[in-house]
Amino acid sequence: MYFLITYITIFNKTALKKPGMLIAPNLSLAFLRPQHKKYSNEKLQSFIDVESKEKEAGSEDFILCRQCLQIVTNKAERIEVEGSHCHTFANPHGIIYDIGCFRSAAGCGHVGSYSYEFAWFKGFSWRIAVCKLCLTHLGWLFDSQSNKSFYGLILNRIIDSA
Ligand SMILES: [Zn+2]
């Protein structure tokens, strides 16, 4: 854990000096995964900021993490943002992501603080969203100052339950 915190601290300090190195919405969290495996779930839960909201009751149309099949959200939470549910974005490194927009995603935890760097949706800052269970990078939580927020989930990292 100490190593991980140190690593992130150094990374963030570096990022502050070099804005181009900030974790853009499209960057993979692959660099975090090997370290996560060393720690217990309790410690991991203390590391990520997990939403307290539980799974929506009564919904049968769940959307799952493709990696571990944990419930992430449900189909009723799909929304349109700027006129479309699906959006395709490329990051500064040319990595392309197809994302779907969801009102909420109770199965997501969050890593890091909000950033406006490379913001995809005008007026919205973003924060990395990971699967609560396996910590796979699932997408981003977008938030505006007018208290509107939504999730952009990477479509090839989630699957329908049915
Ligand atoms: Zn998962």
Note the pLDDT tens digit of each residue in 72-125.
999 999 999 999 999 999 888 889 999 999 999 999 999 999 988 888 898 999
DSSP label of 84: B
Residue 5 has pLDDT above 50, yes or no: no
Distance 69 CA to ligand 1 centre (A): 6
pLDDT at residue 91, as a whole number: 82
Ramachandran sector of residue 147 (left: φ over 0; alpha: ψ -120 to 50; beta: rest): left
Q: Residue 146: give its domain's CATH number.
A: 2.170.150.20
Residue 39 lies in a domain: no
pLDDT at residue 9, as a whole number: 37
Distance 131 CA to ligand 1 centre (A): 5
Distance 71 CA to ligand 1 centre (A): 8
Q: Are residues 139 and 85 in the same domain?
A: yes
pLDDT at residue 138, as a whole number: 98
Host domain of residue 120: 62-160
pLDDT at residue 146, as a whole number: 85
Q: Are residues 121 and 74 in the same domain?
A: yes
> Which one, of 27, 29, 24, lies nearest residue 118 by Cα?
24
Identity at 42, one-letter amino acid code? E
Residue 47 lies in a domain: no
Distance 108 CA to ligand 1 centre (A): 9
Three-state secondary-structure class, residue 2? helix
State the alpha helices, DSSP H only, in the chain. Answer: 2-17, 33-36, 41-47
Residue 41 has pLDDT above 60, yes or no: no
Name the residue with higher pLDDT: 41 or 15: 41
Residue 151 has pLDDT above 60, yes or no: yes
Q: Are residues 90 and 150 in the same domain?
A: yes
For residue 104, give every residue at least 6 positions away whose Cβ sits within 8 Å of its Cβ, in sequence order, or none: 53, 56, 73, 77, 150, 151
Q: Tell me the pairing of strands 108-115 and 96-102.
A: unpaired
Ion ligand 1 nearby residues (CB, 5 A): 65, 67-68, 70, 131, 133-134, 136
Tally of CB atoms within 10 A around 138: 29
pLDDT at residue 128, as a whole number: 95
Counting the structural domains of the chain, the total is 2
Residue 95 lies in a domain: yes
Residue 101 lies in a domain: yes
**Confidence tier at 60 by pLDDT (50, 70, 90):** low
Average pLDDT, the chain: 75
Tally of CB atoms within 10 A around 41: 10
Distance 27 CA to ligand 1 centre (A): 18
Distance 61 CA to ligand 1 centre (A): 17
Distance 109 CA to ligand 1 centre (A): 11
Q: Are residues 22 and 78 in the same domain?
A: no
Cα 36 to Cα 47: distance, rounded to the nearest angstrom: 10
Residue 12 has pLDDT above 90, yes or no: no
Distance 136 CA to ligand 1 centre (A): 6
Residue 27 has pLDDT above 50, yes or no: no
Distance 18 CA to ligand 1 centre (A): 31
